[in-house]
Structure 1
């Protein structure tokens, strides 16, 4: 299903929950609505589903305006954060519920339930009740029930929020594989950037009711279009005065700030760097073991940065003096934003240590 949203607006009292949102989604894509809590993600999802009215704007499914259509006529499946399963019904009965409402024949219901039980890995659990299932199994039942009527669009509201970390990771991979197999257009809401990056074909960053940026996870990470997107995606540090950074002063106007990601920063001893003139002296403040690497906090003058360091390299200790090379920075001011490379990497100067 091709989806088009034009000038979408929604207010709750005086609160502007969604403000002039526009986007298109191609058939078969899995889209992540990502942003902070209260940013408008769920409001957008509920308007797409028909669970909230639209104050202004158009929602178009496959060329047809659906603003005034009730949820049951929009061809959607909805998976809620809290599963919303019927406690008094078995797995099979929960999956079949929507089909019975639509008055499918008993034979067709039986065949569809069997198909979805197999698809979602619930074989052998058909006669169990929700309280007899794990959190991950209950979520699979919720997916199966949403898919039962063969919707053209699947909407998921924080689908993994109520599941522990290990199962959540497994379900992410399962959902990605299932969507690929079915080819169903899907939109899921999350505030977990790792989840969105791992699962989604494209991400839409929503903040204060507005669409900040839409693109692939890599596009958004590498080329953020606003300071909010740059600071929201990935780990980073904001430096208030970019002129304090070696290789980045001079051309930047007063008031320009710098956002530095950990992978932009390299630390080591003087002998580790060919372009020593592009580095400056820093001091290790803290180190944190992250399983596959170290996260190192280092201070340069008044600025504090973080960077990653391989487990294969010499272990640093708090208080160690190191050389710090900032390869690039995301710079922004009140009117513009851009990525800048360390100028001294291309035009080295003599350095005294």
Structure 2
């Protein structure tokens, strides 16, 4: 198959494409050359801290903010001059924006009325939506009779009822407590997948993003730093910025020698880390040691030639399914999660750890 044929197949499967999108406010850049594609039925999470540009990007896609430069292509059509109500894009806001004076049924009917759907068809659609979000029998309740989670379900049903070709969700779980958020993230993904809805979901919570998304786009200071599957994002963060945002703490500065070995504060890691084209031997680099990649050296299989580090335990905390160990490795404080058996050394005791080479990741910048 030729490269041209492959490119054509990719283009045919692409529902939504953002190319070099930029936006400014008071002369300051809010979004800088953001590009990504989305296939039909995929769920994308825009992940980033507050002020990273996530909501601005969502509003530009919906047509609620102007597009200064770049393009938004939806089903092969450029949306630049298409008004919001003609884009066939649904949007669910963090505050839900439900009508407090209307019943649940009347809230869900709002978009259907805008489409001038006949009343009988509306009732059928509302019944389907109520069942889909687990609120059968709630149609005549008022909004103030609902819990936070129930309001969230009504807002989702209202957004889905008009059958948008793309659904934008702006931190829809942000106002809920952690337990309810954890439960509803899985439910939202199940509902969207059941309907085959393509969606873009904004969040600052990585656990939420990993639970919902097929793809994750990490935004920071208006720059798209990485666009990847949740698993690849966790396994191979593209930069220090991404790694820090994901909560990784073991970011160690050092150099690569001519053989590709990493030399840091705790000496050489006796393993070869293949540098890519961004890494030059003897140039300063940053190495990520993922926290789940360590085991007590005495428990590692003798046939495994694994890199090792030694140090002193500073803190040990039992978390139920693992121990969270903080180790001082020649002045470098590192955190690892170790199995509960065997019990790791206590604070102030020496420890020697084997590292899984797959948990060592070279990062591509020093920012």
Q: TM-score, normalised by structure 2?
A: 0.85
RMSD value, Cα: 2.3
Cα distance in 2 for partners of 1:143, 1:271 equals 49
Cα distance in 2 for partners of 1:232, 1:168 equals 20
Q: What is residue 34 of structure 2 aligned with on the other side?
A: 21
Deviation at 1:278, TM superposition (A): 4.4
Deviation at 1:272, TM superposition (A): 5.5
Q: Would the aligned equivalents of 2:306 and 2:354 in 1 still touch at CA under 8 Å?
A: no
Q: What is residue 260 of structure 2 aligned with on the other side?
A: none
Deviation at 1:102, TM superposition (A): 2.7
334 and 203 in structure 1: CA distance in 2 versus 1, 3 angstrom threshold: closer
Q: TM-score, normalised by structure 1?
A: 0.88
For the pair 1:3 / 2:41, whether they are aligned, the reply is no
For the pair 1:312 / 2:312, whether they are aligned, the reply is no
Q: What is residue 64 of structure 1 aligned with on the other side?
A: 77
Cα distance in 2 for partners of 1:91, 1:296 equals 50
Cα distance in 2 for partners of 1:95, 1:177 equals 20
* Residue among 353, 359, 364 paired with 1:324: 353
1:177-256 alignment runs, 5 A limit: 177-241=190-254, 242-248=263-269, 253-256=282-285
Deviation at 1:254, TM superposition (A): 4.8
Cα distance in 2 for partners of 1:215, 1:240 equals 25
Aligned residue-pair number: 335
Cα distance in 2 for partners of 1:17, 1:233 equals 21
Q: What is residue 298 of structure 1 aligned with on the other side?
A: 327
Deviation at 1:194, TM superposition (A): 1.0
* Residue among 100, 106, 125 paired with 2:113: 100
* Residue among 124, 141, 155 paired with 1:142: 155
Q: Would the aligned equivalents of 1:136 and 1:167 in 2 still touch at CA under 8 Å?
A: yes
324 and 39 in structure 1: CA distance in 2 versus 1, 3 angstrom threshold: same
Deviation at 1:313, TM superposition (A): 2.1
Cα distance in 2 for partners of 1:176, 1:134 equals 21
Deviation at 1:281, TM superposition (A): 2.7
Cα distance in 1 for partners of 2:283, 2:101 equals 65
